[in-house]
């Protein structure tokens, strides 16, 4: 991999673990100046020490925090080239099993934050007449799944937000795309379950549901994000790119 993001100023959310942390590492290796956001202070400190990326601790569902963080990055570096909206959460339940607070939490992290951060970033990118935003959608943004109602709703919204923003800013030099990961070997696979799935459980899940018969690793998703953020993807905007081992091909 060349330094295709050399000196590009990037903000990445959810950078303390999983696909977000893998994206931070990928962008730093590609030469970007990375600031990442997470609410997990311990995890963020570890990733920051490992990569020398700048960690900002805060809640991305807070619109004021989002705007202030973007503005501070621009004040420090003079510009913002890339925004990656990776932060996510999940509540495993149907409608009857989802109370108002649980619904709002998933909405707040998975879709409100994408809007708040993108709105703040686009203000600066329009002035520059350049920039790239990569959002994290999901296979469940395009197809349904039982027992994850709120998550499916938010990821469908991310896909539509991505398309609409891309059209709004196609003439402003700003490209806006989304990745739609499938089942990825991250802590979210276990989050919210009554029992933590074993390696055997995960292998059985992959065998039963994924055409390539294995889970993705976070680094495989991060490489696609890096491509979409780079000039190598200069003619791609408004796209939802599945990275799912063939899951949605069916």
Q: Please report the domains of the chain, with CATH numbers, ordered by start residue.
A: 9-186+217-249 (3.40.50.720)
pTM attached to this predicted model: 0.95
In this structure, what token pair is assigned to residue 52? 């020398």
Q: Cα angle at 165 between 164 and 169, to 5 degrees?
A: 120
* Residues forming a β-bridge with 118: none
Helix (H, G, I), strand (E, B) or coil at 17: coil
pLDDT tens per residue across span 89-121: 999 999 999 999 999 999 999 999 999 999 999
Q: What are phi and psi of 85, to 5 degrees?
A: -95, 90
In this structure, what token pair is assigned to residue 141? 């943004």
Alpha helices, DSSP H, located in the chain: 18-29, 41-51, 63-77, 100-107, 113-128, 149-168, 199-209, 218-229
Contact 179, 224 (CB under 8 A): yes
Of 116, 151, 235, 247, which residue is the catalytic one? 151
Does residue 116 have an active-site annotation?
Answer: no
Question: What pLDDT score was predicted for residue 189?
Answer: 73
Checking DSSP bridges between strand 33-38 and strand 54-57, what pairing results, if any? parallel
Largest separation between any pair of C-alpha atoms in the chain: 51
What is the pLDDT confidence band of residue 54, given thresholds at 50, 70 and 90? very high
Dist. CA 11–CA 61, nearest whole Å: 16
Question: What pLDDT score was predicted for residue 201?
Answer: 84
């Amino acid at each position: 991999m060349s330094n295709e993001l050399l000196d590009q100023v990037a903000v990445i959310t959810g950078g303390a673990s999983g696909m977000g942390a893998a994206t931070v590492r990928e962008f730093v290796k590609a030469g970007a100046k990375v600031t990442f956001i997470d609410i997990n202070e311990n995890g963020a400190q570890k990733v920051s020490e490992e990569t020398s990326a700048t960690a900002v601790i805060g809640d991305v569902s807070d619109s004021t925090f989002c705007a202030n963080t973007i503005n501070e990055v621009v004040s420090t570096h003079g510009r913002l080239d890339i925004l990656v909206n990776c932060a996510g959460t999940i509540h495993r339940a149907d409608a009857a099993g989802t109370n108002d607070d649980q619904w709002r939490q998933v909405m707040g992290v998975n879709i409100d934050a994408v809007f708040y951060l993108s709105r703040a970033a686009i203000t600066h990118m329009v002035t520059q007449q350049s920039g790239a935003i990569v959002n994290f959608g999901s296979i469940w943004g395009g197809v349904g799944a039982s027992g994850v109602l709120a998550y499916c709703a938010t990821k469908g919204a991310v896909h539509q937000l991505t398309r609409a923003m891309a059209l709004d800013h196609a003439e402003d030099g700003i490209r806006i795309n989304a990745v739609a990961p499938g089942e990825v070997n991250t802590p979210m696979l276990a989050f919210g379950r009554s029992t933590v799935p074993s390696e055997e459980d995960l292998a059985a899940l992959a065998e039963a549901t994924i055409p390539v018969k294995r889970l993705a690793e976070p680094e495989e998703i991060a490489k696609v994000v890096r491509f979409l953020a780079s000039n190598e993807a200069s003619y791609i905007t408004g796209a939802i790119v599945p990275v799912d081992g063939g899951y949605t091909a069916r």
